[in-house]
Chain A
C-alpha cells in the first residue's frame, strides 16, 4: 500500500508516513529515554545513598570523600560535565586497556591532536557492529547521569538523615543497638519521608534532562524530532514536506507533560504511604483524619 506515496492522500498518506523505517527510529528512541530513566534513577539513588552515608561516616577520609563528591559534582555546570566527563571517561577506559593489552606498543598515546590507543584497546573494538557502539555510548551516558544526579541525591539524603529526630536514635541506642543497627533499622526507614520531596524534585529534573542524551551522541527523541521535522525536498524522500518541527516538538511537549504529571500522581501516593505513622505534621493530619 505504501509503495507509491505520491498517489496517496489524507489519512492513508499519513498512515504510511508515520510508519516509515525512519519513524520507527523515533518510536524506539522513546524506549531509549525510558530505559535511561529506568536504569539511571536507581543507580543515582544508590550513588546518592553511598555519598550520603560516606559524608556522615565517622571515618574521616571517607567523610571527606563523600563531602567532596557532593560539593564538586553539584558545583560543576551540568553541560560542562556532560561534555567533558564523557570524553575523559571514554579515553580513561581506553588508556587503561592500552596499558594492559599492548604495553609494548611504541609511541605515546597522545600524538599532536590525536588520541591513539592500539586496536585491541579500543572501546568498543573498531570491528564491533554499530549497535555495540551505540550501547557503549548509552552506558557512558547512564554512568554520567548517575554520577551527576547521585550527587544531588546524596545531598538530599544527607539532609534527610540529619532530619530524623535525635530522640529516635537515642531510643535505639538505649535499647542497646549498635551504631550499624541504629543506622539500618531506625535511621534509614525513617529518613525517606524527609527525603521524598527532594528526591521527587530530582526525578522531575531528571525526566526533563533526558534530552541531554542528544549532547552525548545518543540518537534520542530530540534528535529524531529535529531530523524528521526538518523540511524535506522531493529529491531525497518519498514523503516531501515543509518545516514540521513544530508538530514533532509539540508531540514531545505532550509526552513530557503527561510523563511528569503521571510521576506527580505516583509520587503523591508514595508520600502518603511514607507519611503514615510518622511524627510529622502531615503524619499527624493523617492520624486525625482517620480517627
Chain B
C-alpha cells in the first residue's frame, strides 16, 4: 500500500515533466471590467484595447499567450505568487507599484484622469469622490484633495453607479473610461479640470522576469516605431494622446 501511494505521488509529480519542456506559454491577466481598456464582450471573451494590443505584442515577441481574468484587488499578489506572468489591465506605472513589480515601457501616454458628475452639478471637488480601490485615482483623492472624502469601490462600474444614485458627488477615473459613459448617458457629465497622474500604462511583470520584460519592451518599441500602436490608441481610447 505504501509503495502504491509513493509511486502514485511520484507519477503525479513527474506527469507534467515532458509537457513542461516546451514551456513557452505566457499567461496574461486582465481585469475584464475596465472598458475600453479591457472588458468581457457579449461572447464572454476578453476584448478591448488591451486584448488587441496584447495579441499583437505576443505575435511580435513570438510568444504563445493565453488570457485569464483576475480581480483588480488581488491582481498584483497573484502575479508575484506566479499564477500568471503578465498584468495587462490599464495599470498606470507608479513609484509605489514599481517597488513590487516591474513595468514594461509605457504603451499609452499618461492618460489624464477626469471627474464625472451628474449633469449640471457644478463644482463638487470638495464633496464625496468615488474611485476604484487600489488605483492611482484613489491615491490622488486621499493625498491631494484635502477637502474631499474618498469612497472606494471594487470596480469602476460600481463607482460610476455611486454617482448615479447620489451616494457620491463625483467619480475620478481615467478619462478614456468615462467619455463613452457620458456619451451614452445624458444625466452625466465630465466636469472640473482634468488631472494628470501616473506615468502612462504599462505591462506589469515579476521583477525577476527580466528576459520577458526585454521581449515585451522590444515589441512595444516596434509597435511605436511603425505607428500601429498609435492606430490602436486612436481606435480604442477616445481623446487619448498618441506617441
Contact = CB atoms under 8 A, between A and B. Distances in A.
Interface of A: 20-22, 24-25, 87, 90-91, 94, 97, 100-101, 111-117, 119-120, 122, 124-130, 133, 217, 219, 226-227, 230-231, 233-240, 243, 245
Contacts of B41: 22, 236-237
B158 to A, nearest CB: 7
Contact of A227 (B40, B160, B180): B40
A112 B99 CA distance: 10
B68 A130 contact: yes
Contact of A243 (B23, B43, B161): B161
Nearest to A124: B16
Given A87-B77, A243-B164, A230 B158 contact: yes
Contacts of A128: 19
18 contacts: A20-B42, A21-B44, A22-B40, A22-B43, A90-B81, A112-B207, A113-B101, A113-B207, A115-B81, A116-B206, A120-B20, A126-B27, A127-B22, A127-B64, A133-B68, A217-B70, A219-B69, A233-B185
Given A101-B13, A125-B20, A235-B36, A130 B161 contact: no
A114 B19 contact: no
Interface in B16-41: 16-17, 19-27, 32-33, 35-36, 39-41
B155 interface: yes
A234 B44 CA distance: 16
Contacts of A239: 42
B66 interface: yes
Contacts of A22: 40-44
B81 A91 contact: yes
Nearest to A235: B180
Interface string B45-64: 10110000000000000001
Q: State the 10 A-B residue pairs at the shortest beta-carbon distance, nearest first.
A: A127-B25, A230-B157, A120-B20, A233-B184, A119-B23, A22-B44, A21-B43, A21-B44, A114-B206, A20-B42
A120 B16 contact: yes
B40 A233 contact: no
Given A130-B66, A240-B184, A114 B208 contact: yes
A243 B156 CA distance: 13
Contacts of B155: 226, 230
Given A113-B206, A233-B181, A233-B185, 19 more contacts: A90-B81, A101-B14, A112-B207, A114-B206, A114-B207, A114-B208, A124-B16, A126-B25, A130-B68, A217-B71, A230-B155, A230-B158, A231-B161, A233-B35, A233-B180, A233-B184, A235-B35, A236-B36, A236-B41
Contacts of A101: 13-14, 17
A237 B42 contact: yes
A125 B41 CA distance: 27
Nearest to A233: B184
Nearest to A226: B155
B208 A111 contact: yes
Nearest to B157: A230
A74 B20 CA distance: 39
Contact of A20 (B43, B68, B85): B43
B186 interface: no
Nearest to B206: A114
A25 B44 contact: yes
Nearest to B73: A215
Contacts of A237: 41-42
Contact of A125 (B19, B42, B67, B208): B19
Contacts of A114: 80, 82, 206-208
B183 interface: yes
B160 A231 contact: yes
A234 B184 contact: yes
A226 B33 CA distance: 10
B183 A127 contact: no
A49 B182 CA distance: 58
Contacts of A97: 13
Contacts of A125: 16, 19-20, 23
B42 A115 contact: no
A2 to B, nearest CB: 10
A129 B100 CA distance: 28
For A87, A227, A240, A245, the residue with the greatest tally of chain B CB atoms inside 10 Å of its CB is A227
Contact of A94 (B45, B82, B208): B82
Interface in B145-171: 155, 157-158, 160-161, 164
B70 A126 contact: no
Most buried by B among A217, A239, A240: A217
